[in-house]
């Protein structure tokens, strides 16, 4: 399965949002991540993600991975956004990111993939 970085990040954001029952937060349930985030900072959203993961015991993500998830200014997110806005020829599958990114970024991409799919990414 070929999945792009941006698609992977979007899937994870939806999964986090879905896992969050919002009981500790008076915000209404919304479909859009930006509306869900509202006026919360990246630091606030990191805390929300950690709370949701802790409450649901669904998965554990490292701090750097959570930062990539909640921030729109990390290289992984920027590269995904650029590819999405430059057209189909520029959309790189995550597998290519695992061979062209730094070791730290590759591990973050692997961790994000495991969170969504429950297994390590495989490459043909």
Mean pLDDT calculated for residue range 61-81: 81
pLDDT band at 46 (very low <50, low <70, confident <90, very high): very high
Domain membership of residue 44 (yes or no) is yes
Q: How many CA atoms lie within 13 A of 97 on its CB side?
A: 29
**Residue at 24 is within a domain:** yes
CA distance between the termini of the chain: 10
Number of domains in the chain: 1
Residue 86 — φ and ψ, nearest 5°?
-95, -5
122 domain-assigned: no
User: Is the residue at 124 inside a domain?
Assistant: no
Judge whether 123 lies within some domain. no
The pLDDT score that the predictor gives to residue 34 is 81
Bridge partners (DSSP) listed for residue 4: 93
């Amino acid at each position: 399965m070929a999945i792009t970085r941006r698609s992977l990040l979007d899937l994870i954001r939806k999964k986090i949002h879905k896992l969050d029952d919002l009981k500790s937060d008076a915000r209404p349930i919304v479909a859009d991540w930006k509306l869900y985030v509202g006026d919360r900072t990246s630091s606030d959203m990191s805390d929300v993600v950690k709370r949701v993961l802790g409450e649901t015991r669904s998965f554990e993500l490292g701090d750097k991975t959570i930062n990539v998830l909640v921030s729109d200014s990390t290289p992984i997110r920027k590269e995904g956004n650029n590819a999405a806005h430059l057209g189909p020829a520029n959309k790189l599958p995550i597998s290519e990111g695992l061979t062209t990114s730094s070791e730290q970024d590759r591990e973050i991409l692997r961790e994000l993939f495991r969170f969504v799919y429950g297994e390590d990414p495989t490459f043909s």
